[in-house]
Amino acid sequence: MKKYIALICAILMLLLTACNNQTPPDETPTDTPTQSEQPTDNSETTPPAEEKNPINTMEKLADVDGVISVTKQTFSQQIKGAVAYKVLYESENGKLAADVVLPDDYANENKHYPVLVYFPQIGTYIDSLALNYALNDIIVIRPYARGYDESEGVRDLGGKKDLADSQKLLEIFDSASFIENSNIFVAGSSEGSVNALRLFAEDIEKRISGCAVVDVISDLPACGEFRGEGIQNLFTSLIGKTYEEAPEEYDLRSAVKFSEKLDRPILMLHFLQTPIVSVEQTDALYDLIKDTNKECTYHKIDALSGDFQGESLQRLLSWINKYD
């Protein structure tokens, strides 16, 4: 019996020893998931967008879509403190040209000059644009209507084509970092006032801060009656139809028909001795907007002159300085 009990104890001891000698399983959690547990990302890696070089000089404006060329111009006299360029660009209506005259430090990122888009009635030269505007700390852009300078085609007196041309020019300059924080103004004289007012009224995004006009044509049919058959024939030639044939074409060019859109600062000037446009044109427009637009200013100048020169130029410069 004692031998039997001893045998059983020996067997139990062997079993216990075998259990103690087994290697315990590794209980340390692994950080590497199995292949089936690996996270999957089937999305394609998108490369970072290529950064475009800033358009911080006039020369670099040539890289903007729609610009054909940018050429530096030379003044006919020695003018220090200003630079001038000729810009050729494409609109839906063909090739167009514009003169651009700037203070010579316009590219300084610490400078923010106001911009004037100028539709003159009389011929202008880059020298006068420099003396009148650039040397008074204003960047001036002077578009050439189709049929003038290097602009192709025929103008349509502030109609849909002229408006599209002006809007394209603004779109191009909106790409320039050197006017990114600048206030933009438009100005026009006589026929140029039609272009300026149309561009101002159709500026849905309110990018343009104000509009200045001198010897304004605000009512084409009334202007035709005042000037007679010669100007009526010109209107018919440029618009393509008489007022009786297409009154809506004359209305879209007449600010008295869209005066409610002229809801930002406006400067109106009139030379009382000018034979070109009657004072009633300015009076009529002022009467329509003076009660709703408290930032409308009207001055009559008792002189025989035209466009922005002399007193009218000084009033324009003071007005821009006020609203810049």
Q: Is 96 helix (H, G, I), strand (E, B) or coil?
A: strand
Chain-wide mean pLDDT for the chain?
87
Does residue 99 form part of some domain? yes
CATH number at residue 318: 3.40.50.1820
Does residue 155 form part of some domain? yes
The answer to pTM > 0.85 is no
Measure the CA–CA gap between 186 and 118, rounded to whole angstroms: 6
The amino acid at residue 285 is L
Does residue 67 form part of some domain? yes
Residue 190: which of 162, 158, 165 has the closest Cα?
158
Number of domains in the chain: 1
Query: What is the b/e burial string over 137-171, where b = at least 16 CB atoms within 10 angstroms of the residue's CB?
Result: bbbbbbbbbbeeeebeeebbbbbebbbebbebbbe
Domain that holds residue 182: 59-323
Does residue 36 form part of some domain? no
Does residue 134 form part of some domain? yes
Measure the CA–CA gap between 316 and 31, rounded to whole angstroms: 74
Measure the CA–CA gap between 130 and 75, rounded to whole angstroms: 9
**pLDDT tens-digit readout, 267-307:** 999 999 988 899 999 999 999 999 999 999 999 999 988 89
The amino acid at residue 226 is F
Does residue 92 form part of some domain? yes
**pLDDT tens-digit readout, 128-176:** 999 999 999 999 999 999 999 999 999 999 999 999 999 999 999 999 9
Does residue 44 form part of some domain? no
Helix (DSSP H) and strand (DSSP E) numbers for the chain: 9, 9
Strand order in the sheet with 67-73: 67-73, 82-91, 94-103, 139-143, 115-119, 184-189, 208-214, 266-271, 296-301
* Structural tokens at position 257: 């028909």
Does residue 263 form part of some domain? yes
Phi (first) and psi of residue 318, to 5 degrees: -65, -40
